[in-house]
Amino acid sequence: MTETRQRIVLAARPQGEPKPTDFRLEETEIPAAGPGEVLVRVIWQSLDPYMRGRMDGGKSYANPVEIGETMEAGCVGEVLESNDPSIAKGDFVVGRLGWQTHAVVPAQELQKIDPAIAPISTAVGVLGMPGLTAYVGLLDHGRPKEGETLVVSAATGAVGSVVGQLGKIYGLRVVGVAGGAEKCAYAIDELGFDACIDHRSAENAKDLRTKLSEACPDGVDIYFENVGGKTLQAVLPMMNVHGRIPICGMISWYSGGSAGDAPEPDLFAKAWRTILVNRLSLRGFIIFDHYDRYPAFAKEVSGYIRDGKISYRESISEGLASAPEAFIGLLRGRNFGKQLVRVSDDPTRSG
């Protein structure tokens, strides 16, 4: 363990895609925990697409990270010191600790984790915010009915992989969209999707639609949307009457590019027409609004993990200093499953 605290701050607001020089590694003394506070050694740091939004100065659902501030992240760690009776030294906790090796936070902002239930890293993955996003989006906003067809973008990612597996549990036909043959094979063979289309093999949105249409002979009832761009363009006209589109992200547009086709000039009017004619329900949602659903989610999904009905995969980047490159890779789809940074040793894990 380092004797100092390392942290990664936002050095500059990215123009389009972030680059390594938009981040800066700093070293400081390890801060002391004040009254009611806890000092945590960060073990697992989560990387999630929403972080790109925090790097921009504009209005979003949360305040931006200021230049020179530590980048935000959900993390799992071990308690080194506690000045609050609710948490003890040696406890494992999850909370918003940031891109850093050590964090001091109020005890009430942390949740304790029981390592006996599942590996502690899952508290920022399948049993954490991404899993809850999948659960709320599919159940509450997607309102699935047995026999319907679900299309999931970013199918092997932290959210998409849970959406698809929940879809199979609920009796849906599940068709994924993912980048590359290997991910598609994983979605079908390991996650149990009925089909998965490699968007990289499609020349444009129309070509992607042709491939998807073969996999969705009865159209699409639910499109779980977290990418935007070419995939959205492909799927929207395939929606069935009374279809639902939970929208929790648009990774292909986060850096401002029009990933996929050059947008048609009348794309917006066409989309609006589809929403009207097919009486679609679109619902943008941010998981921070839905933490009241956490207990139901945790109970149901931890059961599926225990019973082997939901599996998950992690992409692990080693060391805090690797976080910027790993994040840039995440935005480009280089991760395969939940993207984590191993900031320090996990004593509960052998490998």
In the complex, the residues that contact a second copy under the rule CB under 8 A are 53, 59-61, 228-229, 232, 241-242, 247-250, 253, 258, 262-263, 265-269, 271-273, 275-286, 289
Residue closer to a second copy by CB (options 100, 252) is: 252
Residue closer to a second copy by CB (options 60, 201) is: 60
Residue closer to a second copy by CB (options 109, 266) is: 266
Q: How far is the CB of 337 from a second copy (least distance, A)?
A: 23
Are the C-beta atoms of residues 39 and 104 closer than 8 Å to each other? yes
d(CA 171, CA 173): 7
Residue closer to a second copy by CB (options 12, 269) is: 269
One-letter amino acid of 92: F
Q: How far is the CB of 213 from a second copy (least distance, A)?
A: 14
Q: How far is the CB of 258 from a second copy (least distance, A)?
A: 6
Residue closer to a second copy by CB (options 101, 233) is: 233
Q: How far is the CB of 279 from a second copy (least distance, A)?
A: 5
Where helices occur in 69-226 by DSSP H, the ranges are 129-135, 160-169, 181-189, 205-215
Measuring CA to CA, which residue among 242, 227, 185 is closest to residue 330? 227
Q: How far is the CB of 245 from a second copy (least distance, A)?
A: 9
Supply the DSSP symbol for 142: T
Are the C-beta atoms of residues 152 and 224 closer than 8 Å to each other? yes
Residue closer to a second copy by CB (options 114, 264) is: 264
Q: How far is the CB of 226 from a second copy (least distance, A)?
A: 9
- Extract the tokens encoding 334: 């280089």
The dihedrals phi and psi of 21, each to the nearest 5 degrees, come to: -75, -5
312, burial (CB in 10 Å: exposed 0-12, middle 13-18, buried 19+): buried
Residue closer to a second copy by CB (options 87, 330) is: 330
For residue 75, the SS3 value is strand
Q: How far is the CB of 129 from a second copy (least distance, A)?
A: 16
User: Does an H or E element contain 309, and which?
Assistant: none
Residue 146's Cα: distance from chain center in Å? 26
Rg of the chain on CA atoms, in Å:
20
Residue closer to a second copy by CB (options 60, 108) is: 60
Q: How far is the CB of 257 from a second copy (least distance, A)?
A: 9
Buried b (16+ CB within 10 A) or exposed e, 198-228: bbeebeebeebbebbeebbeebbbbbbbbbb
d(CA 115, CA 113): 6
